[in-house]
Amino acid sequence: MKNYENEMKLEFVSKASNESFARVTVAAFAAQLDPTVEELADIKTAVSEAVTNCIIHGYENKLGIVKIVAKLKGRTVEIEITDSGKGIENVELAKEPLYTTKPNLERSGMGFTIMESFMDTFEVESIIGLGTKIKMSKTVEGQVEEEEQDFTMVTR
């Protein structure tokens, strides 16, 4: 029996133009949990960073497939983003803020740091020559009913 309530799978070619497609697709899936605007922005940003890493670092100047699996378990969205690219030599070093293997690009080297800070859990698994898998999750508190304020229109 499945231990999750819903699941989606997405595969696409590692083109930069597909990054926004991936981000919006995962956000639409997570929207079932009725997240706040901030929670949804966190998820979108983390997905964007992970997919961008697959495209820029995993496949470099080659095309490959990026795979995303997202699952809903209760109020939690679990996301796995996988590439079959070159892999990461030293994951711990790669997780250091500002570390980058592409200093010539206008990137800050903060991708893993951003993913880790915006999500509740974050793991990186990588094997040289076989690829990298990012696992992350976020528990969504969701929309809180705000007290309705009584606004009376005054006309003169």
Active-site amino acid positions: 49, 53, 107
Among the listed residues 74, 67, 68, 57, the one whose alpha carbon sits nearest the alpha carbon of residue 27: 68
